[in-house]
């Protein structure tokens, strides 16, 4: 079952009753409830939202990713369950004991898949991507020749037709702001699934930044990034260069968890696909 993503962008009080998330609009008096077991991600995007400790505890017990946003409406925090699997300790140990060759092989597969997905994205907007397909096939163990960067340079130069000089930069010009929002949602999906699989998001295969608590999530989400890009391309095509992040754009990005992914001939939503396909140390 696809887990639901709930977004709250108005003043509210959030609490729990009878295993439900209960929303009470502090301005409107509106009351809405949703079964906690159906939830995958909850996004809090208003400075006047109050949430009860009881609800937080139940969300985490059901492995719901809780995202908080700053006053500019960009995701800044991610809260996850600390004890998400019955064999967590065993799986942590297996991850710690993974050999360097295994990690390099997994990273090779990850980058090859990412480049192929980027190629498919370019082909969908009628940009030739034969070079991308070649680079994907040539990725070596650990991506020792850095094909990821070579492919990225070509990809970002061509993916947005009205922005031929676009550069992917977290703090750069739009549509970087929209990409950031979409990637934050994707990161939450992957991190939640990692915890549910009994792995630790902090210990990565390739990403090793000592200040990053989600290195493994950042590794595993790489092949899925083009699915976010697809949504952002549609937003750009509809809005041109007027790309201040709007509620409508956020609504489109919140559909990312339900987007279909095909792996080994099997089609699944991204949310379910992540859960199934990264328990590589089971």
pLDDT of residue 62 exceeding 80: yes
The residue from 60, 79, 98 where one domain ends is 79
Judgement on whether residues 30 and 104 belong to the same structural domain of the protein: no
Per-residue model confidence as pLDDT tens digits over 143-165: 999 999 999 999 999 999 899 89
Judgement on whether residues 10 and 134 belong to the same structural domain of the protein: no
Give a yes or no: residue 213 inside a domain: yes
Beta bridge partners of 77: 68
Close Cβ partners of 165 (under 8 Å, ≥ 6 residues apart): none
Task: Please list the alpha-helical segments (H only) found in the chain.
Answer: 53-61, 88-96, 100-124, 130-138, 147-158, 176-196, 215-220, 225-239, 247-253, 270-277
Dmax over CA atoms of the chain, in Å, equals 59
The residue from 79, 97, 124 where one domain ends is 79
Residues 268 and 263: their CA atoms lie apart, in Å, by 8
Judgement on whether residues 182 and 159 belong to the same structural domain of the protein: yes
For the chain, report the end-to-end CA distance as a whole number of angstroms.
Answer: 22
Judgement on whether residues 23 and 139 belong to the same structural domain of the protein: no
Residues 254 and 111: their CA atoms lie apart, in Å, by 25
The residue from 57, 79, 101 where one domain ends is 79
Residues 57 and 109: their CA atoms lie apart, in Å, by 37
Judgement on whether residues 148 and 64 belong to the same structural domain of the protein: no
Judgement on whether residues 21 and 117 belong to the same structural domain of the protein: no
Give a yes or no: residue 111 inside a domain: yes
pLDDT value at residue 106: 92
Per-residue model confidence as pLDDT tens digits over 170-198: 999 999 999 999 999 999 999 888 887 77
Judgement on whether residues 159 and 246 belong to the same structural domain of the protein: yes
Name the token pair of 256.
């990312």
Q: Could you give the percent of the chain with pLDDT greater than 90? A: 65
Residue from 186, 247, 196 nearest 218 by CA:
186
Residue 281: pLDDT band with limits 50, 70, 90: very low
Judgement on whether residues 57 and 140 belong to the same structural domain of the protein: no
Judgement on whether residues 156 and 28 belong to the same structural domain of the protein: no
Is residue 30 classed as helix, strand or coil in its secondary structure? coil
Domain of residue 96, CATH code:
1.20.120.920
Residue keyed to tokens 């031929």:
164
pLDDT value at residue 65: 92
Residue 282: pLDDT band with limits 50, 70, 90: very low
Domains of the chain: total: 2
Question: Is 79 in contact with 191 (CB distance < 8 Å)?
Answer: no
Q: For residue 66, give the H/E element and its range.
A: strand 65-69
pLDDT of residue 277 exceeding 60: no
Judgement on whether residues 126 and 25 belong to the same structural domain of the protein: no
pLDDT value at residue 265: 81
Per-residue model confidence as pLDDT tens digits over 8-35: 999 999 999 999 999 999 888 889 999 9
pLDDT of residue 280 exceeding 90: no
pLDDT value at residue 235: 97
Give a yes or no: residue 127 inside a domain: yes
Task: Give the range of the structural domain holding residue 62, as residue numbers without chain letter.
Answer: 4-79
Judgement on whether residues 58 and 104 belong to the same structural domain of the protein: no
The neighbour count for residue 281, using CB atoms within 10 Å, is: 18
- 46 exposure class (CB count in 10 Å sphere: 0-12, 13-18, 19+): middle
Question: Is 179 in contact with 152 (CB distance < 8 Å)?
Answer: no
pTM of the model: 0.86
Residues 28 and 46: their CA atoms lie apart, in Å, by 15
pLDDT of residue 237 exceeding 60: yes
Judgement on whether residues 98 and 35 belong to the same structural domain of the protein: no
Per-residue model confidence as pLDDT tens digits over 206-227: 877 666 778 888 999 999 999 9
Give a yes or no: residue 282 inside a domain: no
Is residue 279 classed as helix, strand or coil in its secondary structure? coil
């Amino acid at each position: 079952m696809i887990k639901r993503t709930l977004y709250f962008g108005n003043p509210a009080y959030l609490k729990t009753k009878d295993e439900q998330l209960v929303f009470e609009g502090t301005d409107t008096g509106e009351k809405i409830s949703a079964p906690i077991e159906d939830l995958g991600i909850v996004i809090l995007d208003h400075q006047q939202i109050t949430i009860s400790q009881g609800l937080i505890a139940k969300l985490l017990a059901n492995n719901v990713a809780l995202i908080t946003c700053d006053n500019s409406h960009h995701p800044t925090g991610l809260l996850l369950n600390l004890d998400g699997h019955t064999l967590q300790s065993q799986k942590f140990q297996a991850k710690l004991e993974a050999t360097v060759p295994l990690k390099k092989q997994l990273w090779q597969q990850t980058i090859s898949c990412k480049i192929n997905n980027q190629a498919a994205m370019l082909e969908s907007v009628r940009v030739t991507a034969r070079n991308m397909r070649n680079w994907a096939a040539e990725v070596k163990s650990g991506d020792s020749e850095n094909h990821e960067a070579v492919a990225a340079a070509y990809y970002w130069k061509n993916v947005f037709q009205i922005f031929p000089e676009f550069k992917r930069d977290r703090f750069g010009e739009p549509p970087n702001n929209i990409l950031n929002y979409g990637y934050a949602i994707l990161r939450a999906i992957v991190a939640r699934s990692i915890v549910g699989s009994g792995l630790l998001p902090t210990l990565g295969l390739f990403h090793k930044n000592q200040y990053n608590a989600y290195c493994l999530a950042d590794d595993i989400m790489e092949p899925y990034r083009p699915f976010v890009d697809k949504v952002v391309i549609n937003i750009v095509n509809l809005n041109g260069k007027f790309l201040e992040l709007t509620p409508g754009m956020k609504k489109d990005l919140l559909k990312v968890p339900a987007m279909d992914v095909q792996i080994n001939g099997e089609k699944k939503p991204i949310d379910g696909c992540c859960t199934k396909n990264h328990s590589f140390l089971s």
